[in-house]
Structure 1
Amino acid sequence: MRETHRVFIATYIVASGRNGTLYTGMSSNLYERVWQHKIGHFEGFTADYRCRTLVWYQPFESVVAAIKREKQIKHWLRTWKLKLIETENPEWRDLSEGWFD
């Protein structure tokens, strides 16, 4: 994986597909974390449900703020998460498209 300007703190949602399984997380290096999801680096939930498509993210200045937002979203109803994604990414396109070319 090459170095990039995409190293930033963010809360994010990856999905298995449109209206599929969702996983909410946070990372201090979103670029690297998305790559790890795409190659199935992590065992467990995201690997089992093939959550590899970055459908939403929100950058933050601090890890504390990103963790707070992650915890907030993790407690949301699924319908609220879907609305968040649909509002900013109605086509459910992979927001990391082109990052790893």
Structure 2
Amino acid sequence: MSIPNTTRIKRRPTHPGEMLREDFLPEYELTVSTLAEALGVSRQSINELLRERRGISPEMALRLGRLFGNTPEFWLNAQRAVDLWDAAEGIKKDIARIKPLNAA
């Protein structure tokens, strides 16, 4: 049994790339190059993430969690929220046609 979510947000959740770009990079005085080097990934992959053209993978979540001292779940949950929002917006009409079942 699950608890229904009755408070649907009305805007797209913040993409993890925007969080990195607007909050983490300035706070830690990082550039694309220094972040890529610290994470051991290419500048291109960081650039695509910051431009919100790429999502957070489990591997990237592990790297970011280690670097910033938070958890991989923090990064994956942020990405999941964006992915679910995008999917729901894409099939909104189809979802509205589905009638929920009631338990007997």
> Common fold, TM-score beyond 0.5?
no
Answer 1 or 2: which has greater helix percent: 2
Answer 1 or 2: which has greater strand percent: 1
TM-score normalized by the length of structure 1: 0.27
Structure with the larger RCO, 1 or 2 (CA within 8 Å, 6+ apart): 1
Q: Larger radius of gyration, structure 1 or 2?
A: 2
TM-score normalized by the length of structure 2: 0.27
